[in-house]
Structure 1
């Protein structure tokens, strides 16, 4: 019997805290180099850089969307890049890569299908297109319901603009749409005793409302150098493996306006022999989906970057408070 295969999982935007990234920056020189590339591309769009913010003496409390509209996506890429270096430097190699939402871009980057410059371009085009779209303020809401019940609820409720945006597990789905419609849906869910939580995402992603935004992103990225991946990549948005540059182009076109079928993707990878799932980001959200949906034999590995990376000798802090040792990254 062949040994279980390994999948690297890349989370979507928001899978970190600014405090964690502030502590991580001096400890992850490879990831810092990638962040500087993102900052260079971002500057060409008129966005302010992120590296100086994280390098400041004190951790930032928040970032101004008007000055850093690329922040959530760029910093997610930074965190996943650091986690990827941790695992590969320990000798771990993936048999397949898979991203959730924005994480699909990171998976394609580490499969050789996109360069860091290309990822930065997509992130900046995405922020610019959303800003120019004229769409009402949007958001995303996680529900403790499976996909069938969530879709039935949306069909019954009938609020315009709401759509099933992600199917994460057998007991969690995500709805996206206009903020006002989501607020009204939350009241319905509360009355029905259905747990729900608003996600820290500014936009109704993975929703047909984003179709024009998706087209504008694709137009702005038409000249990118896209390549077939050198390591297999499975796309939850397309529902299949990425085999060619044209497949990569299709992911870039639809990574904002099609739903994320993460549960189906997990089941497919497990059927294909994947037994170890390594999450490369600042949280364990994807690992929890693995544990809740797959047999107990499936192994999850979480990569909290600050716990694994040592501060270079020249940058060693002078006391425990400065090192952040009193704040365990759990």
Structure 2
């Protein structure tokens, strides 16, 4: 069985989407529509901007979403039986399986980006990558630290990202190193994504999600929060809202997709990050880029 997987923030690069844009008229038209929806020329930034331009949250998230959906259109879905997305990538997955239209998906992604940036501005917060400790030990250390610090991304065995208040994240990193972590590296992000500090963003996004049209999925989506197959639009909405303050359980999602029959994973969107993670989760499956 084939699964389409969609990357999240961090996979952007200068020039992203230009080859897709030039490949077919219907893809060009779709991408041109992005500028109209957003009210600014995001394609110019994607094609000609700097790394710094692309790192701005209000640009990064829509840019990755646009690239991913254009790539889906380029491969025409190719008979996938399931989809999943890493954090932001979940919105791309929901366009691929018919739950959201491109326009509604892009509007929600834009609102999500602005809401997250606003929440980041309220509290000094950060994230850190922890390598070489098992998940249970990372969870135990986070729970022992004063202040807000939680597991945020279960990326693959031995690679977990934590998120929270800057001081608490720094304390947790020191404790992780003492516990034998190979690395405990503060990431260059300006907020505590997938932590309770995203509560203000969650409230703003929830209002936008409730006003968007969600359809029944044509194929299941394995959502970050539940890690299991979902097709019901009301359940998808609830999980999408919960995702902002809850962890991205990517390891568990991929494991469940494999358990349900996935043998071939195709990464749809910029970069190859998810292919590397999936191979670390299960070396027996095949992985590839869509384009």
Q: TM-score, normalised by structure 1?
A: 0.78
Deviations, residues 233-261 of structure 1 (Å, cap 9, x unaligned):
11122232222120121133122111111
CA distance in 1, matches of 2:58, 2:24: 21
Q: 1:269, CA displacement in angstroms? A: 1.1
Deviates more, 1:109-118 or 1:209-218: 209-218
CA separation of 1:220 and 1:84: change in aligned 2, threshold 3 A:
closer
Match of 2:7?
11
**Is this contact kept in 2: 1:18–1:62, CA < 8 A?**
no
1:222 aligned residue (200, 210, 221): 210
CA separation of 1:34 and 1:174: change in aligned 2, threshold 3 A:
farther
2:169 aligned residue (179, 182, 199): 182
Q: 1:81, CA displacement in angstroms? A: 2.3
- Paired residue secondary structure (1:114): coil
Match of 1:286?
274
Match of 2:80?
94
**1:1-330, aligned counterparts within 5 Å?**
5-21=1-17, 25-27=21-23, 30-43=26-39, 48-56=40-48, 59-63=49-53, 69-88=57-76, 92-133=78-119, 135-144=122-131, 145-156=133-144, 158-189=145-176, 192=180, 194-296=182-284, 298-303=285-290, 305=291
**Is this contact kept in 2: 1:228–1:248, CA < 8 A?**
no
- Paired residue secondary structure (1:264): helix
Q: Which runs of 5+ in 2 are unaligned?
A: none
Deviates more, 1:203-212 or 1:112-121: 203-212
CA separation of 1:64 and 1:261: change in aligned 2, threshold 3 A:
closer
Q: Which runs of 5+ in 1 are unaligned?
A: 306-330
Q: CA RMSD in A?
A: 2.5
**Is this contact kept in 2: 1:37–1:116, CA < 8 A?**
no
**Is this contact kept in 2: 1:109–1:119, CA < 8 A?**
yes
CA distance in 2, matches of 1:29, 1:104: 26
CA separation of 1:186 and 1:18: change in aligned 2, threshold 3 A:
farther
**Is this contact kept in 2: 1:16–1:79, CA < 8 A?**
no
Deviations, residues 56-112 of structure 1 (Å, cap 9, x unaligned):
4xx5342177xx642111111122124323433xx8320101111111111011111
**Is this contact kept in 2: 1:146–1:167, CA < 8 A?**
no
Q: 1:35, CA displacement in angstroms? A: 3.5
Q: TM-score, normalised by structure 2?
A: 0.87
**Is this contact kept in 2: 1:210–1:257, CA < 8 A?**
yes
- More helix by percentage: 2
CA distance in 1, matches of 2:166, 2:19: 33
Size of the alignment, in residue pairs? 288
Deviations, residues 135-194 of structure 1 (Å, cap 9, x unaligned):
3143322211331111122123x0412111121211111111133433444445456553
